[in-house]
Amino acid sequence: MAWSAQQPVNELQSHVATSSEDGTSKLLDEYIGQQRIQLMQQRIPLGPHDLCLIQPADVDAVIDMYIAAGHEERDPYWARPWPSALALGRYILEHPQYARDRSVCEVGAGLGISSIAALLAGAEHALLTDREPLALECGVRSARASGVPGVAETLSFEHVTKLLSPLPSSKMRAAFLDWSEGYTGPKFDLVLACDVLYEDFSVEPLGRLLPQLLSDNGQILLADPSERTRHNREYFVDMMLSQTERPLLLEECLAVQEEMDGKTHSVEVLRFRFRQGTETVGVKTVRRDLHA
C-alpha cells in the first residue's frame, strides 16, 4: 500500500481544531491511501501539562490495514502510548535541565510522547524518527494538539538523511529512520528511546545507532519496562559500556512507577553519556522511586 502521510493532513487539521475544543475522546477520520483509519484524541496528564495524543481509535484496524496491504510483518505498536514513554516524559519534565535548549532526537518515537515532553521542557527542537509514517503523522499532530509552540502546520516526511540541513524551521520535525540502517548525519544533545528493546534482534542495531546519533557532550535517555525482556536491556547496557570507539557511562538508573489503564507499571529509566577524556569507567547505579 502506498502511504500518504502528507496528503490527509489538511483534511484532518480542521477536525483537530474542532475536536480539541471539547477536549474529549472525539473520533476523527482519516484516509490513508485506500484505507480508512479512524483516529481519536486522548488527554493524558503529564506533570503540569495535559498531553493531547492523536492516535488510531482501534489498533486492530491498523493490523487489518497492514494485512490488506500485504505488510503482515509490520507491527502496530506505535499506535498507542506505552508506560515507558509516559515515565520518560515525566522524568524529562522533572529534570528539564536535560532538555532545555538542547537538540533532541527520538528513535522508535511512536506517538512522540517523550519528545513532546522535551519540547515542553524547553528543548530547542526535536526530531521524531520511526519507520512508520502514520506514527510520525500522529506524533507531530499530538505535539500541536498538546500546545507545543512553533510546530509547523504541515510537514513532509522524508528519510532522515534528507532533512537535517539547514536547521529545522519547525520546533518538531519527523523523519524515517530504521534502526537497521547506519547513521552519519548531524549529532544531537539528547537522544531518547522508549520501549524499543522488545525484540532480541533490535538490540544490536540500536546499540550501534544510538551512539551514532549522540553529540560529544550529549546524553541518551532510555526507558524500558522493568520486567520485560530484561536480558535485552542488560545486553544493550553492555554494548553501551563497551563501545570500542568511544565507551559510554551509565550515569543513572532509576526504577519508576507509572500508572496506566488502572495498573501500576514499573519502568527503568537509564541515562548514558560518553566517557570524557581519561575519566574512569565506572557504572554508577542509583535506584530510587521517582514518583513514589
Ligand X SMILES: C[S@@+](CC[C@H](N)C(=O)[O-])C[C@H]1O[C@@H](n2cnc3c(N)ncnc32)[C@H](O)[C@@H]1O
Interacting residue ranges for ligand X, rule: CB under 6 A: 77-78, 81-82, 84-85, 108-111, 113, 130-132, 135, 178-180, 194-196
Instruction: Indicate the residue among 73 and 245 with the shorter CB distance to ligand X.
Output: 73
Instruction: Indicate the residue among 60 and 216 with the shorter CB distance to ligand X.
Output: 60
Work out the number of other CB atoms within 10 angstroms of the CB of residue 251: 15
Smallest distance, Å, CB 281 to ligand X? Answer: 29
Residue nearest to ligand X (CB): 110
In this structure, the chain runs to a length of: 292
Residues whose CB falls within 8 Å of the CB of residue 242, separated by 6 or more in sequence, listed in order = none
Instruction: Indicate the residue among 53 and 249 with the shorter CB distance to ligand X.
Output: 53
Residues of 114-131 as b/e, b for ≥16 C-beta within 10 angstroms?
bbbbbbbbebbbbbbbbb
Instruction: Indicate the residue among 44 and 247 with the shorter CB distance to ligand X.
Output: 44
Nearest to 37 by CA among 46, 51, 27: 27
**Position 182, amino acid:** G
Smallest distance, Å, CB 195 to ligand X? Answer: 4
Instruction: Indicate the residue among 143 and 249 with the shorter CB distance to ligand X.
Output: 143
CA distance 111 to 42: 12
Smallest distance, Å, CB 110 to ligand X? Answer: 3
Cis ω before 166 (30° cut-off from 0): yes
Smallest distance, Å, CB 206 to ligand X? Answer: 9
Smallest distance, Å, CB 264 to ligand X? Answer: 17
CA distance 204 to 264: 30
Angle, CA 154 vertex, CA 150 and CA 156 arms, to 5°: 115
Smallest distance, Å, CB 284 to ligand X? Answer: 25
Instruction: Indicate the residue among 121 and 160 with the shorter CB distance to ligand X.
Output: 160
